[in-house]
Every structure is written in structure tokens, then in C-alpha cells.
Structure 1
Amino acid sequence: MSLPPDTLICRNLWKLFGSRAEEHLKSIGPDAARLTEAGLVPAVRAVDLSVRQGEIFVIMGLSGSGKSTLVRLLSRLIEPTAGEVWFNGQNLLTASEAEMTQIRRHKMGMVFQHFALLPHLTVLENVAFPLEVQGVARREREARAAEMVALVGLAGREAAFPRQLSGGQQQRVGIARSLAVEPELWFLDEPFSALDPLIRRELQDEFIRLQSRLKKTIVFITHDFDEAIRLADRIAIMKDGAVVQCGTPEDLVLNPATDYVREFTRAVPKAKVVRLASLVRAGEIPGGITRLSARATVAEAGPAFLDGAALVGVDDEGRALGTVAREDVIRLLLGGEA
């Protein structure tokens, strides 16, 4: 099966903070130590990434690793020192500021850790605000906003003000507002990190539900590996401004490329990252047994084996791919190899 096309691509992307950054990069070259000696801060170093249409691509790393700077480069909220950024075949670095404004208004959605809701506007008005900026007629924008409010589970709270909402509800409004413009590409920079663990888990569930319906192309920033493996199709791990490994959660946990990635993923149980798709055995599909998404992890599927010896893995359209054997799941749940 062919992979979906790449929506977003960056090549050899650099961001150096400091005076005469471009000049120093050309004269010194990609030597981070020498660039630092020259008084520059290498925030993003030689990053090559591609984000496929419809996938959740997670960029993660510890504080100061460069992940938030990278996402701002990808949306050109800040200018790179060198490199290329391509969105749907267009080189964003050659786009004028007016063109970038239109791209951000109509094709990109953004959600950040701080909700930045307008306190004097109601939930409905906050969600409709980007459509108002676009010049959409009031009746149309309010209808669209009401649809998004319902989508994130806040129907009935349209007339509430931000101060009357919990932190989790405010973040749902932020998500609804970013979706109102029907973006092709959705950037989320640690959107749940300021929330309590229970609310955070609830919003992760909501996020997964939304993505199953909307199929957006998403770049999601987090420093929480548990959150990353729960949400991601692929993960890029950053350290000191560079991407040290990119792959599926299974790739990172089962085949770490560096000691840093190995340490980063050391405490993660394999059952939390290995998906049923990796364990599916082709063959005749028996009737009357449990069917689960092939995207489900072994840990998520484990309880289904209490009532039967096998289950069927299905794709996103519900088509059966094959069976998963009880012994394969038990081995991983007990800490064995995939």
C-alpha cells in the first residue's frame, strides 16, 4: 500500500540566534561548537523532516531542545537562518508576508499551551473570531462556530465567557477556534501540558476522537513521551536543536538509534507501544471473536483476551487484516520481546 503524500517538508533547516547569523553559518559551516564560540545560539540545527498527509507527527524533546522553535519555523512565525520549508509543494520561504498571512488564516490552525482566549467574548464569539477576521458573514461564521463547539463537546456553553470555564473547557474552546477555519495543517504546541493529569487524559481521548473524524495533518509538540506514544503516528526526538531519531513509537522503543534515545525510552513498556498491526497473522478470519483496531496497542488490547483466545485486527475502514494470537500478546504484556 502506497504512503500518503507529504504535506509539509523541511530541508537542512537552521535557526541561529545572534548577530550576523547567516554570515557566520556560511563562513563557519555546520559546526555547532564553533558557531557557539562565535556568540550564536544554535536553536535548530540541520533538521530534515517530512509530514505525511493525515498523520499525527509528534516532535518531542526536553525543555530547550528546540521543538517549539522548530514549529514556529515550519509556520514561518519566525524566519529561519537557512534551509527550506515546503507546504503542499509551495516554498514558504519565497512567499510574501501577505501570502503567509493568507496561508495562516485559511490553511493552518494553531493551538498553544496558553489558551489566549479573548476574555470579553463568549465561547461562540471566540470560536467565530478567526472567521470574522476572514470577513465571513455573521450568520455563516456563527453556524460554523456552533458546529465546532459541539464537535469538542461544549454544546450548551456557547454563551459562557472564558472566566466561567474550567481549564480543560478553555482549551477545548482553543481547539474549536483553530478548527473553525478548516485548516489543512494543524500545529499544536504542548496544548495539554498546563492541565491536570485527569483533564489531560480526557482531552487526549477527545483529540484522538476528533482526529478519527477529521483526518487532519497534525504537527504536535510535547515533552511527555507517554503522550507522544499515545497520539503519534511518527515521532521525531530532538536534542540540542537537532533531530536525533525519527520513526514510529515502536521504532524508537525497539530500535533506538542513539544512547540518548535509548535512555529516553528505557522505562517505556513495550506493550504500550507495539500495535496490533505488528502482531497480525494473515489467514482465515474466524467469526464471532472480538475485532479491534490494528492501531490499538497491546496494552490497550490486553483486556479483550480475557474472553477469548484471539482477536481480529481491523484497519481504519473496519476491514479485517488478520488475527492476533493470545500468546503474542501475553509475551509482550509480561515484558518479552516483540
Structure 2
Amino acid sequence: MTAFHHPRRHRIAVLVRQGVLPMELALVHQLFALATDRDGSPLYEVLTCAAPPGPVRTTADFTLHVEHGPDALAEADTVFVPASDEDYDPAPEAVLTEPMAAALARVPAHARIASICTGAFVLAGAGLLDGKRATTHWNAAARFERLFPSVALDPDVLYVDEGTVLTSAGEASGIDLCLHLIRTDHGAALANDVARRAVVPAHRDGGQAQFIRQAVPEPQRSSTARARAWALEHLDEELTLRALAARESMSVRTFTRRFRDEMGLSPLRWLTRQRVERARQLLEETDLPIDQVAVDAGFGTAASMRQHLRAVLGTSPSAYRNTFHPGPRAAAS
């Protein structure tokens, strides 16, 4: 029998159920298949498995034949649980069936487990989200909160990373989560390359709020796109709310409200995220000293950049460069 995995590759298993959403299965295979090293060798191997293996119904007009069973989970480094139409069954016992519980019990302790859309119900049903932050599709948030009060649900974000357990909001948010994991494993340059090849955004700002239908439509003048585009060209400068609002000929109060309505977060928080991404790019792709990276990314000082990178990435600028810079290391400060 052929072995499941190439020993050098990160092993991903996608655990599907009856009524799986085809896009959520396909996007995991597609995105991780695009992640290759300099020689073009795949960095990941993705398998589909089911409990039990065999025919698996989809929400489309075709059926999958899944060759691998739960034994594939025992060798996984990352496990994905996509959504199923079974997640909309109001019966609590439908959240985590006995076969699914037994399958998840085979996942190694070191492995990451990630859900897409309402796949979060399965993770919560297995107790993997107790006491943790999580997200799921906004349309299922109220039911999720009723069933799992011990989970700190955040229905406004695109995905949540709690270390070994990750959740994402909807189908397209699964793309965001996959790119986030590639970025975490191999750096922003590779994640950006995968995004370019898949013709998707490398990083989407904001949260689910931008996709929820509002009772009162926003006026046409509500766009803050010009201010955001201008800010990205001037990240190394001191950017104030007053300066950003002036780009849209708005008051600070109106600009702040409309920015949050559109992007799902405050202008200052958005700016910090963009500066972190700029710092990551400079640390990966240049040999600039750490102090200069801090200035060019808009943090001003290395100490400020170090504080923000540690808060977002859990590491220091020097350690990040040592991990993801492909060439000779620049002197760290």
C-alpha cells in the first residue's frame, strides 16, 4: 500500500462530512498546493478523509468518493473541518456525531485544528473551543452562542487564531485562514505569491460586519477608499485621523464612523495592521537595519515596532527576519 505522506511535507487532512460544501474542501487543496519552495517542490500534502470513507454527499449535484478514513488524521500536522448542511440541523446531537468524535480523537496533540464556516460547531461540540475565542458564519452566530456559552464567540471577524485551534467565518474566510497559515509557516512573501497565483487578496481588512445587510443603506459618499490608498503610500509618515478624514472631506467623527462601518475596525487599528505588514515585507525582502525598518514601516522606533510585532506575531523583528529572510541576515538591533 502506498504511504500517505512525503516525509518533508507538512501534512494536512481535511475531514469532510455528508453534505460538505464543495468550495470549502477545494480551497484548502488549491491554496496549499500552490505553496512551493524555491525548487518548485510542494511544501504541503493535503488529503481528504471521512468517517467512514466512501461516498460523501455534497451540497452540489455530485458525490465525492473519499478514499481515506480517520486513520489519516493520526498522521496530520493540520486538520481542517469544513462546513456541512448538517450544521443547520437544530438538534444539538447533530453537532458532533459519534463517528466524528471518534475521528477527532485520533488527531495528534501537536496538530493544529481549523474550521471553515460552521465547521466551528464540530470543534465546539468536541470541547476544543471551551474558554477560547472563536468565530463562525454570522448567520449561525446566535445558535452557536446558545449551544456553546463557554466559547467567546466573535461574530465580527474573518478568522480567529488561538494557536493550535483556528476558526474562520464563511467560505471565502477559509481562503483568508489558509493564507494566514501559509504566512505563519513560511512568511508573507510566500503567502503573497500564493494569493497572486490564486488571484485573491493576500489579506482582507475588516470583518464580517462589512458583509451583513444593514437596515439602512450607507450613502454613496461613505467610501473611505481614497484615504486608505493614500495612507498606504505614506505609512512612514505621521498619520492622524484629521489628515485621513481630510482626504475624504469629512469630519473626524464622520470619517471614523464610516471607516468602521466599511472595514469593521477603527482607522488606527487598521493603520497598525498595515504597518505590521509593511514591516514583515521589509524584514523578509531587505537587509535594512531593524531601526530603519521601524522608520520605513511607520513605527518610528525599533522599540515600538518590537512591541507591535510581538503583539501580532508573537515574535521579535530579529527572530522574524532570522526565520523568513531568504538571504544573508542583516545585523539586528
TM over 0.5: no
TM-score between both structures, scaled by the size of structure 1 = 0.31
Return the structure number with greater helix share: 2
Q: Which one scores higher on RCO, CA 8 angstroms, separation ≥ 6? A: 1
Return the structure number with greater strand share: 1
